[in-house]
Amino acid sequence: MRTNLRVAAAFVTLLWFAVPPCLAWESWGGDPGGSRFSSLRQISPGNVGQLVRAFEYRTGDLTARSPELMRRTKFQATPLFVEDSLIFCSPFNEVIALDPGTGAQRWRHDPKIATSQRPANRYVCRGVTHWVDDTAPPEAACRSRIFMGTNDVRLIALDAKTGVPCAGFGRDGEIRLDVGMALDWPGEFQITSPPAVGRGVVVVGSAIGDNRRVDAPSGVVRAFDARSGEPRWTFEPLKRDGIEAGHANVWAPTSVDDARGLVFLPTSSPSPDFWGGKRPGNNEHANSVVALHIETGELAWAFQTVHHDVWDYDLAAQPTLARIDTGGDQRDVVIQPTKQGFVFVLDRDTGKPVWPVEERAVPQNGAEGEALSPTQPFPTHVPPLTSQAISTDDALSLLPGLGGSSCERQFSEARNEGLFTPPSVQGTLVFPFTGGGVNWGSAAFDPVSQILYANTSRAVHRIKLIPRAEAVGFNPPPGHDFGQQRGAPFAMSRAVVMSPLGLLCNKPPWGEMVAVDLKAGKILWRSTVGTTEDLAPFGAPLPWGAPLVNGLAVTASGLVFTGAMDAYLRAFDARSGRELWQGRLPVPGVANPMTYLWKGEQYVAIGAGGHSEAGTSIGDSVVAFRLARPGEAPTLWSRSIDRPGGRFVAASSVIALAIVVLVIASLRWRRRRRRIMQS
């Protein structure tokens, strides 16, 4: 028994040091490998109910910019805790540094991006990247740097202590990227995720408007010297042998293994998304995890998760680097969750699957001119994080005649043969939808417990191919995306399948947090996350979950924090999945939370700005919580009204009371009048 205990203790110690303890939050994903794990323990399942708001900082965008402009924003930034400051970017690429304890602004840099460009993916900045030049003198300007990519295609370097542009980087602290071709409009090409940096090289991807044209901009990844800004290398993921296409870009956050000198890129689909007749074959290295030598840009390996993608199943999530127990040994791996809900676990040195991945036959008979892959890769060890099939039995039906029949009809009228059913002129159900499974928020991994945590979304898209002749002058119905797909014989329309009541047509839950034991290949628990409070009429807080494109953070004390489409930061018990606490936010926090230690106190912070594409309320805040100090305590208001459903119950109670008072007053008035009449 003692021997077993010694072995177990040694193993836990090994796992603990496999990921350096994160007392700060120095990278977008907590660490360069995106584990989103913190070794902090001060806030625990036993005291999380004592959290109080430490501060709320507002960028000022909500008052300084027009409502129309704010309706084109997504506040998805995760602050870094570096140089004794919280540093983040606004949707308009303003970089802001705050005092970690009070939220007071320390410095601010405004690159003054144009707000007339209408970016394809809206105004968004998921975060910035920190890097220290160890070769520079300790007090040298820009020894500690912040890198950021912008919506108007610039790479900017700032002094992390002052916010002043690094004069020696590019031209006056910035580089304007050369897209390499004429854009259809200025916002077709942008940078939305933080750059990667390692071994003195900064790497930047791009986000490109979908479904506009076959000959779209390419997804070239660019690397620059982190000190001077001089170009180092470029890498185009998509092999262009005998095909006509663009994209396969890297819009999601990337990961770095500095010891190996590797950068890991999650690539997207080729253009256009839903018809691939001019790009026959598997389209390597689109829809792939690609490992490059960061100093040279040379390919180390690539693993493709979707062949010849015509479903917009690009890799949206940052690859997570971890050291895991596979049952026979410990291996350094890359964990890649996908929109389909799959989890691929790959050897970090070779890219080969740690557990078997099967090529399985998938539906065929695509649209005219299409040449589908007959098979697709399916991981066999780790089960899918979300369901992958939908039928009329799964249609939402609240009351007969109030949505059920409509949802059933929409499901039955479309082509639906399960996962990887090809797009069609009839209309095809895509489930999980193109924003489903695990999105840009990615997953979190606890290196001690060896458990992976991920937020997932469940909704249904209806994709319809529109013959070119019918696409001329096509006016899409409200709520439908429309893409010309110029150069293809079909345009396309895409819409989330909704009921007449404005609810998702598939039965809830619509958003879940999932915990997975990777070694055992077993789902440990699922918990519904979020309510319809910020989306439903009258703020009805139906506890059905909400789509979760954002990610989470896990702590060594056994807590998992996440935001959602309603206005709460939540804490879950990492062992059981039980929801333990909710902290009210001014608007939904559709961003990744982070945690840090400042002057002996642990804080949890999240960007709360809403999500314009999802239809939530819009804001411009960063909110932080900490444990109540002596003499402080959560207020009665925070324990009652500031809870999911609290406002709805309070408002309903006031209305009900008002009705009762009016009824009593009316009865008394009638009685009084009757007496007067009788007298």
Which active-site residues does the annotation give? Answer: 312
- Burial category of 284 from C-beta neighbours within 10 Å (exposed 0-12, middle 13-18, buried 19 and up): middle
CA distance 200 to 404: 57
Which residue in the block uniquely carries the two structure tokens 């370097």? 157
Q: Which residue in this structure is represented by tokens 């997975």? A: 516
d(CA 429, CA 450): 35
Distance CA 590, CA 608 (A): 7
Choose among 52, 101, 55: nearest CA to 633: 52
Phi, psi of 561 (to 5 degrees): -105, 145
Measured CA to CA, the distance from residue 218 to residue 283 in angstroms comes to 13
Preceding amide of 432 cis, omega within 30: yes
- Going by C-beta distance under 8 Å and a sequence separation of 6 or more, which residues neighbour residue 662? none
With contact defined as beta carbons under 8 Å apart, do 179 and 237 qualify?
Answer: no
CB 307 within 8 A of CB 279: no
What does the alpha-carbon distance between residue 116 and residue 216 come to, in Å, rounded to a whole number? 21
The rounded distance, in Å, linking the Cα atoms of 186 and 116 is: 9
Q: Give the C-alpha distances (Å, rounded to integers) separating 656 from 642, 663, 669.
A: 20, 10, 20
3 phi and psi angles, rounded to 5 deg: -60, -45
CA end-to-end span of the chain, whole Å? 96
Count of Cβ atoms closer than 10 Å to residue 46 Cβ = 10
Q: Quick check: helix, strand or coil at residue 304?
A: strand
